[in-house]
Amino acid sequence: MITFFLALILLVAGFFTYGRLVERVFRIDDRQTPAVAHPDGVDYVPMKTWRIFLIQLLNIAGLGPIYGALSGACWGPEVYLWIVFGTILGGGVHDFLAGMMSERHDGASISEVVGLYMGKAVTFIMRVFSVILLLLIGINFSVGPAALIAVLTPETLNTSFWLAVILIYYLCATFLPIDKIIGKLYPVFGICLIIMAVGIAGSMILKSEYHMPELWESFDVVHPEGLPKWAMMFVTVACGAISGFHATQSPLMARCMTSEREGRKVFYGAMVTEGIIALIWACAGVTFYNGVGPLSEALAQYGQGSVVYTISTTLMGPVGGVLAMIGVIACPITSGDTAFRACRLTIADWFRINQSKVTYRAALSVPLLAVGAFAAVSLPFEILWRYFSWSNQTLAMMVLWTGAVFLLRFGYPPICCFMAALPATFMSAVSLTYILQAPEGFQLSTSIAYPAGILFALACLAVFLFRVYRKGPQEEVETPL
């Protein structure tokens, strides 16, 4: 229990200390935000801070901090370290920079922002990469909920039926103004996600029959499937520490803020909240099942959804069951629809298509959902998810390097740029190491993957240092998109 409380305190303290430091380095000012400068009633819609925060939380969370944390706990309570320091030093910085860089460039999609600072070739790569990633997420977060709802309803209402219903909903959420569905439903589900996490944590603390394992008890833990901690754990626990998907979602809220001073609460704050949720579920997994081995066996035998439902109903009773169902059904759906929405906006920014007109929005939304429907019924879910996991962290790496260059161009001392450059270096090593050793990757031995990942990360850092000390700070890119 000591480890859990220390980790919780560090996460909260990180928001008020390191988060404020990141805000100061960014140089928040009183300039007009895109939502104030030119609201269009569709994507640029001014909203209150609390509403934007809850929408951002649900956008970036989904099932990530629950499923990912439970799987990550199979490496033992050491996963707490990744959740805490990954959130404070990596994820919070990543999400804040992604959202605020977008806000400074008229709410541009992350692919366009990266292109401004990393060059034309990277722009094209990022555009294609972002569209594919967002489609993968939208597809992944439609098949899973459809299958689960089919289990809970009569046989005539099978997975295909519910998949069609979810995709029709996605079309509406992608097409309609952001305040019509997303702005109204998301805050409610966001509150449910928080209540669910608080209830789980409270039950574990108050019920004496449960023992929360300490960090110092876990160093002899071996993953049941023999998967190496480096870099598998850092990809498995993504949304609870750092996730490139967040960079595609932050611009949605950057188009709705009415003041730059909301940025730390909305972006860094939502990431810290997600880290807390991930911490609670990682702890719940090993605590409820009394160890890594039993947790792994339960996940393998019953699946993530059943484990979440069992933990919730046992610790919180019928209320927990309702919240669990909301969590495992509504949360992935609410990430899937914003994935398709962000995909529409990415393509619109790419080809400069005005989205305030109904016909133009429909021209992008309908084909996107058609592609999603085809892929959902044609491609294996497991393969889609595996490639999403790697591409997700690779995107985080690219956004952090962009943030480092962005900070350099602001004219601050180079030391400030390392706020983004150091986590970018770490994620560079994670990204390459993972794809070299992963079953869906090159399946190389760790003796090759480990040094290759480290050398790649050092090479990226060397290129950045060359830019810092040879070229020096440059003027901020001022041309808005």
DSSP string, 287-339: HHTTSHHHHHHHHHHH-HHHHHHHHHHHHHHHHHHHHHHIIIIIHHHHHHHHH
Question: Which residue do the tokens 């770490």 mark?
Answer: 426
What's the chain's average pLDDT? 89
Query: Is the confidence at residue 380, as pLDDT, over 70?
Result: no
Where is average pLDDT lowest: 129-138, 139-148, 219-228, 428-437? 219-228
Query: Is the confidence at residue 109, as pLDDT, over 90?
Result: yes
DSSP string, 230-268: HHHHHHHS-TTT--THHHHHHHHHHTT-S-GGGHIIIII
Say what the pTM is. 0.94
Query: Is the confidence at residue 116, as pLDDT, over 60?
Result: yes
Where is average pLDDT lowest: 34-38, 101-105, 312-316? 312-316
Average pLDDT for 416-437: 95
Residues of 412-447 as b/e, b for ≥16 C-beta within 10 angstroms?
A: bebebbbbbbbbbbbbbbbbbbbbbbbeebeeeeee
Model confidence pLDDT, tens digit, residues 234-251: 998 998 899 999 999 999
Note whether 88 and 11 are within 8 A (CB). yes
Note whether 60 and 274 are within 8 A (CB). yes
Q: Would you state the structure tokens that stand for residue 19, as one six-digit string?
A: 């988060």
Average pLDDT for 44-57: 96
Q: How far apart are CA 287 and CA 295, in angstroms?
A: 9
Q: How far apart are CA 294 and CA 298, in angstroms?
A: 6
3 state DSSP class of 474: coil
Query: Is the confidence at residue 38, as pLDDT, over 90?
Result: yes
Q: Which amino acid type is present at position 377?
A: V
Cis peptide before 284 (omega within 30 of 0): no
Q: How far is CA 191 from CA 58, 325, 344, 443, in A?
A: 9, 14, 27, 41
**Band of pLDDT at residue 215, cut at 50, 70 and 90:** confident
Average pLDDT for 182-190: 91
Model confidence pLDDT, tens digit, residues 331-375: 888 888 999 999 999 999 999 999 988 999 999 999 999 988 887
pLDDT of residue 477: 47
Q: For the chain, which domains are there?
A: 47-380 (1.20.1740.10)
Q: How far apart are CA 270 and CA 272, in angstroms?
A: 5
**Band of pLDDT at residue 255, cut at 50, 70 and 90:** very high
**Band of pLDDT at residue 152, cut at 50, 70 and 90:** confident
Q: Would you state the structure tokens that stand for residue 64, as one six-digit string?
A: 């990530």
Q: Which amino acid type is present at position 165?
A: V
Query: Is the confidence at residue 378, as pLDDT, over 80?
Result: no
Query: Is the confidence at residue 218, as pLDDT, over 70?
Result: no
Q: What is the dihedral of CA 399, 404, 407, 413, to 10 degrees?
A: 170
pLDDT of residue 248: 95
The residue ranking higher by pLDDT, 218 or 377, is 377
Where is average pLDDT lowest: 204-213, 321-330, 373-382? 373-382
Where is average pLDDT lowest: 9-23, 79-93, 357-371? 357-371
